[in-house]
């Protein structure tokens, strides 16, 4: 995964997207180091009197939002006005997400938002999507999905935890295969191929879902509006 962006650039992107949050909104709270800046900015606005409700996309974003004093709700009980979330790679408005293994919940929240704002730094931009695609799978399907991923041209690697022996286990109790397809020339077809595999819970290709990309640099933010 691409992790090279400066924190100042991530902060600029996160704070830019947080400015779109208005009084009374329900906001999807993304996962990762860039979305965390948006959550902190929303928390400061709540402190100053903004009335919003957050829908977290992971254990991490729930915890941060609670620490920041943002009231939370379950997706079942609300309708999301705006979602703000990071990305591991952005190409032509399509995304690869899941570097933090949160992409299944992120896709549910982001896809159900009226507007989805992506926050990223310039290291995430690419001509074509090419970082490995995280695929969350049921544990019992590890080898069958791995074989099926190879059949559609990918090289799957079970994601291992850094600070413990064994695999990464998602917030949903599942495993992640990071699947390298090289440079992806047709993200929509690959997305439907992966979604069709028995045992796949969710993959990290987000095709044509974003409304705006907030690209932060140390010197400012570029906002790109996408037509869907
Ligand atoms: O699973 C994690 C998410 O998809 C993150 O939004 C993504 O990995 C980007 O994270 P960061 O802003 O830390 O690079």
For 129, residues 6+ apart whose C-beta sits below 8 A from its C-beta are: 89, 91, 94, 95, 96, 183, 184, 187, 205
Of the candidates 208, 227, 223, 201, the residue with the CA atom closest to the CA atom of residue 98: 201
Share of the chain residues as helix, strand and coil, in percent rounded to the nearest 5: 30, 25, 40
With H, G, I as helix, E, B as strand and everything else as coil, classify residue 213: strand
Taking the centre of ligand 1 as the mean of its atom positions, its distance from the CA of residue 97, in whole angstroms, is 6
The answer to whether 170 and 176 have CB atoms below 8 angstroms apart is yes
* DSSP-assigned states of every residue in 66-115: HHTT--B--GGG---SEEEE--SEEETTEEE--TTS-HHHHHHHHHTSSE
Judging by DSSP bridges, how do beta strands 89-91 and 133-137 pair with one another?
unpaired
Which CATH number, 3.60.20.30, 3.40.50.2300, 3.30.930.10, 3.40.50.1360, labels domain 7-124+207-225?
3.40.50.1360
Of the candidates 102, 79, 97, the residue with the CA atom closest to the CA atom of residue 87: 97
pLDDT at 25: 98
pLDDT tens for the chain, 228 residues long, are 555 679 999 999 999 999 999 999 999 999 999 999 999 999 999 999 999 999 999 999 999 999 999 999 999 999 999 999 999 999 999 999 999 999 999 999 999 999 999 999 999 999 999 999 999 999 999 999 999 999 999 999 999 999 999 999 999 999 999 999 999 999 999 999 999 999 999 999 999 999 999 999 988 999 999 987
The answer to whether 110 and 85 have CB atoms below 8 angstroms apart is yes
Residue nearest to atom 8 of ligand 1 (CA): 99
Q: Say if residue 31 carries a ligand binding annotation.
A: yes
The answer to whether 55 and 80 have CB atoms below 8 angstroms apart is yes
For residue 33, give the ligand 1 atom closest to its CA.
13
Confirm or reject: Cβ of 85 under 6 Å from ligand 1. yes
DSSP label of 29 = E
Mutating to test ligand 1, I would choose from 31, 95, 168 the residue with most ligand atoms within 8 A of its C-beta, which is 31
pLDDT at 5: 79
Taking the centre of ligand 1 as the mean of its atom positions, its distance from the CA of residue 30, in whole angstroms, is 8
Residues known to be catalytic: 106
Q: Say if residue 85 carries a ligand binding annotation.
A: yes
CATH numeric code, 133-204:
3.30.70.260
pLDDT at 2: 55
Q: Where are the domains of the chain?
A: 7-124+207-225, 133-204
DSSP label of 132 = P
For the segment 118-130, what is each residue's pLDDT rounded down to a tens digit? 999 999 999 999 9
The answer to whether 59 and 36 have CB atoms below 8 angstroms apart is no
With H, G, I as helix, E, B as strand and everything else as coil, classify residue 125: strand
For residue 119, give the ligand 1 atom closest to its CA.
12
């Amino acid at each position: 995964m691409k992790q090279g962006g400066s924190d100042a650039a991530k902060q600029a992107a996160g704070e830019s997207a947080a400015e779109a949050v208005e009084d009374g909104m329900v906001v999807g709270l993304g996962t990762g180091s860039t979305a965390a800046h948006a959550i902190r900015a929303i928390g400061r606005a709540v402190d100053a009197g903004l009335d919003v409700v957050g829908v977290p996309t992971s254990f991490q974003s729930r915890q941060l939002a609670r620490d920041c004093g943002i009231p939370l709700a379950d997706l079942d009980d609300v309708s999301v006005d705006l979602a703000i979330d990071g990305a591991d790679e952005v190409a032509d408005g399509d995304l690869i997400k899941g570097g933090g293994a949160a992409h299944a919940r992120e896709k549910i929240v982001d896809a159900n938002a009226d507007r989805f704002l992506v926050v990223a730094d310039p290291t995430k931009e690419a001509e074509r999507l090419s970082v490995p695609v995280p695929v969350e799978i049921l544990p019992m399907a590890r080898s069958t999905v791995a074989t099926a991923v190879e059949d559609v041209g990918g090289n799957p690697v079970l994601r291992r935890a850094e600070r413990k022996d064994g695999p990464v286990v998602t917030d949903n109790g599942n495993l992640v295969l990071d699947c390298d397809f090289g440079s992806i020339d047709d993200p929509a077809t690959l997305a439907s191929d992966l979604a069709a595999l028995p045992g796949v819970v969710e993959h990290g290709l987000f095709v044509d879902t974003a409304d705006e990309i907030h690209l932060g640099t140390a010197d400012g933010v570029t906002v790109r509006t996408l037509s869907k």
